[in-house]
Amino acid sequence: MIKSIITVETKKGTHILSKKCKEIQETKLDKIKEIIKDLMDTANSCKNPRAIGLAASQIGYPVRGFIIRWGSDWLALVNPKVVSRSEATRPYVETCLSRPGMAGIKTKRHKIIVLEYFDVIRKQMITRKFSSLDAVVVQHEMDHLEGVLV
């Protein structure tokens, strides 16, 4: 099912996007897979070439999960937690699918970030280091999970 991306202009969207998301129970694997499929379907249907990440809250699920572009596919991160981050940061100009038409916002992001997350395919916790654009996208999506909009 393709969901619409919630924008900050909608009353419902403002409420969902400004709330901290809840952890997903690993025992609800079927529900997790449904959310991930909705995220991927929605991202794939998006006409914006900058659609390289999408949080569950952006399509109406107030839970801790998101996808990022990973090569030619998507990587799903469920219940991600920051393990470490570099002290070094870099400036970056970001846009957000939940703020259509808005000009890029200048941010500062850590150059490297290490996350631990649940991998639905392997059914286990994974620790992975992200750098460059991947690190920026991960931090942007992690902000969504905390109810923070760029």
User: Of these residues, 87, 94, 141, 146, which one is catalytic?
Assistant: 141
Radius of gyration for the chain, computed over Cα atoms and rounded to the nearest angstrom: 14
pTM: 0.93
116 belongs to the catalytic site: no
Per-residue model confidence as pLDDT tens digits over 82-119? 999 999 999 999 999 998 888 889 999 999 999 999 99
Per-residue model confidence as pLDDT tens digits over 51-87? 899 999 999 999 999 999 999 999 999 999 999 999 9
Q: Exposure of 138 by Cβ count < 10 A (0-12 exposed, 13-18 middle, 19+ buried)? A: buried
Cα 93 to Cα 110: distance, rounded to the nearest angstrom: 13
> Domains along the chain?
11-145 (3.90.45.10)
Cα 39 to Cα 5: distance, rounded to the nearest angstrom: 10
pLDDT of residue 101: 80
